[in-house]
Amino acid sequence: MPRSITTPMTTQLKPPRTIPQHIETLRSRGMSVDDDLATQWLTYVSYYRLSSYWYPARHLDSSGHRDDTFIDGTSFTDAVHLYEADRKLRTLVFDGMERIEVAMRTHLIDQLCAHDPLAYTIPSLDQFRPTFDHAGWMNRAKSRVNRAKDNNAAIKHYSIIYGDRYPLWVLAEALDFADISLLYAGLRTRYQRKIAEALDIHINMETLSRSQRDKAKKHSPLAACVHQLTIVRNICAHHGRLWNSSLIPISTTALRTDPRLTRLPQGESRRSFGAMIIMAHLLRTICPGTTWPQQVTALLNTAFLPNPLVEPDSLGIPTSGNATL
């Protein structure tokens, strides 16, 4: 006889609700709601998307979990102001990220193609560390090329004229930032360090413990930074939430040996503000005279920190509230 298949018990999904029902629910749970404002926002921004912005205003129960009721003074207006601030922050961060991504591409091209535009295709190239999954990376690159052939004139040209042989400076235009990050991580440490120093990332090995020096010698700390920045970039590209988001943590011990990076949190950085400190430092090198750090600092100080829904730690800002980049 065939074995019976049992379906595990699952929680019943909540049924869809109308905008007036959502407004009544919020009001019954203790939120101050302006009907016209809420109707406008819930018509064009979903209840679910907005709910993460008022989540911290929900009461904590005795077991440390959030219940459905709101603390006194919670307003729909504060939630949408926070949503707008986060949207503006994503726009600024994505703008800065574009310049960092292009700079990383350029330095990798210079490093890998000094003598041969196709050197990156050679698995045994001296610049690559033995553990680098070169075949896996090349497969990723091939998929990016296939994706770009229909709308990238340069890719189409090199496919037809040069038989699918793409100099890295052509291929790079079709790569994602994550592909660039993986390629950089695949370099031997001395080549990683060369690029890091060109971007003004300098580690003072003398001040590190022996184990910390060993770690910094195996991988440039910039490799972990760039990986974290790819996560931030994707959050921005997909209209995700930067405020109150947890990122892949990176060690900050070696980075903080540079006096200009001492505002990074001690030990590790897992919030957006730490990533923005790294971005601000890189952008000052890539774009001398940039006002990006001042623009972000002003937004944090005027639109985030005064909002009653925002705790400094939700962005990784020090408890002192100093949001200067």
Q: Per residue in 182-209, pLDDT tens?
A: 999 999 999 999 999 999 999 999 999 9
* Sequence-ordered list of residues with C-beta below 8 angstroms from that of 160, at least 6 positions apart, any chain: none
At 5 the pLDDT is 55
Give burial (CB, 10 Å; 0-12/13-18/19+) of 114. exposed
Q: Residue range 244-272: average pLDDT? A: 96
At 6 the pLDDT is 55
Q: Is the pLDDT of residue 56 over 60?
A: yes
As a whole number of angstroms, the distance between CA 200 and CA 207 comes to: 18
As a whole number of angstroms, the distance between CA 106 and CA 120 comes to: 14
pLDDT-based confidence at 8, cuts 50/70/90?
low
As a whole number of angstroms, the distance between CA 323 and CA 325 comes to: 6
DSSP 8-state symbol, 203: -
At 30 the pLDDT is 97
Give burial (CB, 10 Å; 0-12/13-18/19+) of 250. buried
Q: Is the pLDDT of residue 323 over 70?
A: yes
| Predicted confidence (pLDDT) per residue in 156-174, tens digit | 999 999 998 999 999 999 9
Question: Residues of 173-182 as b/e, b for ≥16 C-beta within 10 angstroms?
Answer: ebbbbebbbb
Residue 251: its H or E element? strand 250-251
Characterize the bridge pairing of strands 58-60 and 66-70: antiparallel
200 Ramachandran zone, left/alpha/beta (phi>0; psi -120 to 50): left
Percent share of the chain, pLDDT over 90 = 90
pLDDT-based confidence at 1, cuts 50/70/90?
very low
At 9 the pLDDT is 63
**Residue pair 59/274 in contact by the 8 Å Cβ criterion:** no
At 63 the pLDDT is 85
- Reported pTM: 0.92
At 236 the pLDDT is 97
Give me the half-sphere count of Cα atoms (radius 13 Å) on the Cβ side of residue 125.
24
| Predicted confidence (pLDDT) per residue in 205-241, tens digit | 999 999 999 999 999 999 999 999 999 999 999 999 9
Characterize the bridge pairing of strands 250-251 and 66-70: unpaired
Q: Is the pLDDT of residue 107 over 80?
A: yes
At 272 the pLDDT is 97
As a whole number of angstroms, the distance between CA 104 and CA 100 comes to: 6
Q: Between residues 10 and 133, which one has the greater pLDDT?
A: 133
